[in-house]
Structure 1
Amino acid sequence: MKKFVAALALSLLVLAQPARAQSILRDAETEAMFADMSQPLILAAGLSPKDVRVILINDESINAFVVGGQTVYVHSGLVNAADNANQVQGVIAHELGHIADGHVLLQAEGVRPALGIMLLSMVLGVAAIAAGSAEGGAGIIAAGQQVAQSKFLAFTRVQEATADATAAKFLETAGVSGKGFLQFFKKLQSLEYRAGYTNIDPFAQSHPLSGQRVATLTETLVQSPAWNKPFDPALEIRFQRVRAKLIGFVGDPPRTLNAYPAENQSIYAHYARAYAYHKAGYPEKANAEADALIAVAPHDPYFLEVKGQILLESGKPFEALAPLREATKATNFQPLIATSFGHALIATEDPANYLEAEKVLRQAVSRDYENPFAWYQLGTVYDLRGDKARAMLATAERASLSGDARTAAFSARAAMGALPQNSVDWIRAQDIAVASQNALDDSKGGRRR
């Protein structure tokens, strides 16, 4: 009985949470573009750009979501499907509407009454079964589930419509045109039509239908003083660059090369082909595409970054040093690029480069703590330089970020045993050891239950 209740409750709660995507995609150029395109909207929402993050998720579905806090998750499929930067701005404005309106915190208000209906129907159904009417009891339970689900979906549709309206306000306050917002809903409507979804039951959806959203928002967006404001051409170029490199990075190489054939000599095509060739295992062709980019803009840090990445991952770390060093300096030691540079320094296997690698990687993790790969590289260079204690501490940091509580606890305790007691690093190791052990104990307790 209890297991059945838990299963029903879980099935309802799953509706309240967007599906978790497979992995986060981190890229310096992409994160800088997201930060700049979202900043006016974040300010319009009354939030701080320092506290809000827009994160790219490797998922081909067209979606974006928030799950708590002030982080907006955007699927790679949405970026690929968008025609321009303004469309993505509209989606970000919508997600900021969820944050500003406190929708994640209010989810319990939608779950509670629906769960109450579900539990009541289950009690009545079980009573009917106990009285000898198995078919009638099952019917009561099934009907209760359907009513509960419908009630919750009605709640989420209201939240989505509210977020749309709030997004329109943010766009107007920020002086950003809502044309892209409307264009994107029309695109979704077209995709729904082409997929054959012509007889969708609007009451069985978690979101209002795209056509309904277009009809509701059009008048508000058109009347905004920002409606006819031109798009930022520089931001649009940056978006198309990011979109092209993303297609090259996550897409199937043959499809990418078909979409960006050799006769296409645009920056976007060179970007996409560089990643596609590199992914397909053609380093010389990938390197040639990177050279074509650098020929257009010799000091563009992101072109230099891709050049260095291709060389490094093709087994040429010495050759990768110059472009990665310049890219690191040009971006004022952007942590992701600096991590690649530190990696290249270590990969040379030249002890003369290890001190510089340590300095670069220490700076990277100080500015971007949640970077497991940077911690891994820092632990490697600590070990190479004979600093076993801090190598263990770096391992503990990486394991903690990756959710490996067992390794984090073991490594942190090992670091504590070799570090000066009560030093900054010792205290940090102690914090990780305690937190990781608590996580392990909670896990063991959960299994016992």
Structure 2
Amino acid sequence: MFKAIQQLLVAALATFVLTVQASSQSLLRDAETEAFLRRSSYPIFKAAGLNPQSVHMYLLNENSINAFVTGGQNIFIHSGLILAADDVDEFIGVIAHETCHIACGHRLRRGDAAANAGTFSILSLVLGAAAIAAGGADAGLAILGAGQSVARGQFLAHTRGEEAEADITGAKYLDEVGRSSSGMIRFFDKLRDQEILAQVRQDPYVRSHPLNSARITNLREDGQNRVHFNTPPDPALNDLFYRLQAKLEGYLARPVQTLRKYPPSDTSIRARYARVYAYHRSLEWDLALEEADALITAEPLNPYFHEIKGQILFENGRIEEAVPVLQYAVDLAPNEPLIATALGQALVSFEDPERMRQALPILENATRIDRGNSFAWFNLAKAYSWLELQPQASLATAERFYSLGSATQAVIHARRALDGFDRGTPDWLRAQDILIATEEAAARQERQRSRRRRLQQKTSFDRLSNSLKQE
């Protein structure tokens, strides 16, 4: 486990990557979770006329029930929403509702374009992992700014007309892909009791989405005209959703709570998944490995089961044993950059030139697929440096800070990369692109830091003056 700036950042146990914690929020990244989000949401995006590759979904580590659209075609989901849903149709119902906010142009109609301006989007600011721990104060300041942007987006007001349109249009999307909108109704209905609570106690979803009996009634009336309104949840997708819930519970809840809900007598895959994380968090390595082995026995070709076993071995210091396990996970899922990053990290941790050479193509492919994977960039830069490929190391470091939104550091390393590459080569051009994109942002960040310093100095001076007056 890594520590980072002012205890704001923690790298994950097992396969979850807890990336940015600013204020009370953070992003969770996990290969299996992101695969599930794509599988469950892409049909809905297509039904809405959107390019699924252009819509990005992010899971926030936040207990409250909420989901919101911000920064263009980006959907943020609170972990509390997933844990509160009784089945996959309730979850998908919320996604369909939020999809309309994008496809129906609600944010554009409210003149949100100005809020999206700037070199670094909120996504590039928050996509990162343990590499941030080595990023320094500049990265920390950028991260804090990102968290504030997320918080602002969370509480954006929604008009009743837009919400009504998102309900009915979302139900239409669901019907087109053979899903029932009854899940949306059930989920909204369970939140209806929250409306009588004081606002400070309400979940954000209730505060920003006016849930009332009329909306639920309208959805029920609309359901009478939907072909698939009475269609039950897809069994396979529902099982994947329950696995995701179990992983989240095992990772986020206290181990004693997880083991109480999923006792050893429960040998289902869902229960074993939850216990893997509970045992791992409790540092019960042998028990965690027993559960991982049981999962692999049940599904030998499941890459995520091999991934978690490899991560347990790695974090327990058994790196030699971890590498072949992680390699097999990569072989089973060659297009999962987070799994590849785990393998690359294990190879780099040997701090051996031969292992570094093995890690290079793995990490290069991971960053090619996932440009915002700052942890992969961090390990790639380390491998380049060990092999005395300093211009490449500088470029990878510039990419890392670029993905974190740390413009000042990105500028420094982009300039170093430019000095090391031949003019006009692809790497030189990429370094130039980063430099052009970050110079203005770096100046803006420096102005912000200067304002903060002046404000802190003024506050300190005022406190001293008041203290002297009181004396």
- Output the TM-score relative to the length of structure 1: 0.80
Match of 2:240 among 238, 241, 248: 238
1:203-352 maps to which residues of 2 (within 5 A)? 206-352=208-354
Match of 2:100 among 89, 97, 102: 97
Q: Evaluate the alpha carbon distance shift between residue 34 and residue 154 of structure 1 in structure 2; reply closer, same or farther with a 3 A threshold.
A: closer
1:118-137 maps to which residues of 2 (within 5 A)? none
Partner Cα separation in structure 2 for residue 209 and residue 240 of structure 1: 26
Match of 1:431 among 426, 430, 433: 433
CA contact (8 A) 2:310 2:323 kept: yes
> Helix, strand or coil for the counterpart of 2:77?
strand
> Helix, strand or coil for the counterpart of 1:50?
helix
Residue matched to 1:441:
443
Residue matched to 2:47:
44
Q: 1:185-226 CA deviation, whole Å, 9 max, x = no partner?
A: 122125557x689xx9xxx95432343322221111233101
Match of 1:174 among 172, 177, 193: 177
Q: 1:16-45 CA deviation, whole Å, 9 max, x = no partner?
A: xxx997222111111111111112211110
1:88, distance to aligned residue in structure 2 (A): 0.9
Residue matched to 2:375:
373
Partner Cα separation in structure 1 for residue 210 and residue 232 of structure 2: 29
Paired AA for residue 251 in structure 1: A
Matched, 1:107 2:90: no
Matched, 1:82 2:115: no
Partner Cα separation in structure 2 for residue 364 and residue 153 of structure 1: 35
Matched, 1:23 2:21: no
Structure 2: stretches of 5+ with no match in the other structure: 1-21, 115-154, 452-471
CA contact (8 A) 2:158 2:209 kept: no
CA contact (8 A) 1:156 1:206 kept: no
Partner Cα separation in structure 2 for residue 426 and residue 342 of structure 1: 25
1:64, distance to aligned residue in structure 2 (A): 0.5
CA contact (8 A) 1:175 1:226 kept: yes
Q: Evaluate the alpha carbon distance shift between residue 411 and residue 184 of structure 1 in structure 2; reply closer, same or farther with a 3 A threshold.
A: same
Partner Cα separation in structure 1 for residue 186 and residue 178 of structure 2: 17
1:183, distance to aligned residue in structure 2 (A): 1.2
> Helix, strand or coil for the counterpart of 2:75?
strand
Paired AA for residue 209 in structure 1: L
Match of 1:61 among 64, 71, 77: 64
Residue matched to 2:415:
413
1:431, distance to aligned residue in structure 2 (A): 1.7
CA contact (8 A) 2:188 2:211 kept: no
Paired AA for residue 413 in structure 1: R
Q: Provide the alpha-carbon RMSD of the alignment.
A: 2.5
Matched, 1:188 2:194: no
CA contact (8 A) 1:86 1:231 kept: yes
1:130-145 maps to which residues of 2 (within 5 A)? none
Partner Cα separation in structure 2 for residue 253 and residue 237 of structure 1: 23
Q: Evaluate the alpha carbon distance shift between residue 84 and residue 176 of structure 1 in structure 2; reply closer, same or farther with a 3 A threshold.
A: same
Q: Evaluate the alpha carbon distance shift between residue 205 and residue 28 of structure 1 in structure 2; reply closer, same or farther with a 3 A threshold.
A: closer
1:350, distance to aligned residue in structure 2 (A): 3.7
Matched, 1:422 2:409: no
1:97, distance to aligned residue in structure 2 (A): 0.8
Paired AA for residue 62 in structure 1: I
Paired AA for residue 170 in structure 2: A
> Helix, strand or coil for the counterpart of 2:59?
strand
Residue matched to 1:127:
none
Partner Cα separation in structure 1 for residue 172 and residue 302 of structure 2: 36
Q: Evaluate the alpha carbon distance shift between residue 65 and residue 440 of structure 1 in structure 2; reply closer, same or farther with a 3 A threshold.
A: same
Match of 1:387 among 386, 389, 397: 389
Residue matched to 1:7:
none
Paired AA for residue 227 in structure 1: F
1:184, distance to aligned residue in structure 2 (A): 0.7
Partner Cα separation in structure 1 for residue 44 and residue 172 of structure 2: 10
CA contact (8 A) 2:407 2:445 kept: no
Partner Cα separation in structure 2 for residue 210 and residue 290 of structure 1: 45
Match of 2:162 among 153, 156, 159: 159
1:371, distance to aligned residue in structure 2 (A): 0.6
Size of the aligned set, in residue pairs, is 384
1:258, distance to aligned residue in structure 2 (A): 1.8
Q: Evaluate the alpha carbon distance shift between residue 266 and residue 327 of structure 1 in structure 2; reply closer, same or farther with a 3 A threshold.
A: same
Paired AA for residue 274 in structure 1: V
Q: 1:41-79 CA deviation, whole Å, 9 max, x = no partner?
A: 111101111211222111111110001321211111101
Q: 1:241-298 CA deviation, whole Å, 9 max, x = no partner?
A: 1111111112222222222122211111111111122123222222121112112112
CA contact (8 A) 2:69 2:76 kept: yes
- Output the TM-score relative to the length of structure 2: 0.77
Partner Cα separation in structure 2 for residue 351 and residue 224 of structure 1: 61
CA contact (8 A) 1:405 1:440 kept: yes
1:174, distance to aligned residue in structure 2 (A): 2.0
Paired AA for residue 398 in structure 2: A
> Helix, strand or coil for the counterpart of 1:46?
coil
Paired AA for residue 326 in structure 2: L
Partner Cα separation in structure 1 for residue 23 and residue 209 of structure 2: 18
Partner Cα separation in structure 2 for residue 87 and residue 20 of structure 1: 28
> Helix, strand or coil for the counterpart of 2:76?
strand
Q: Which has the larger radius of gyration?
A: 1
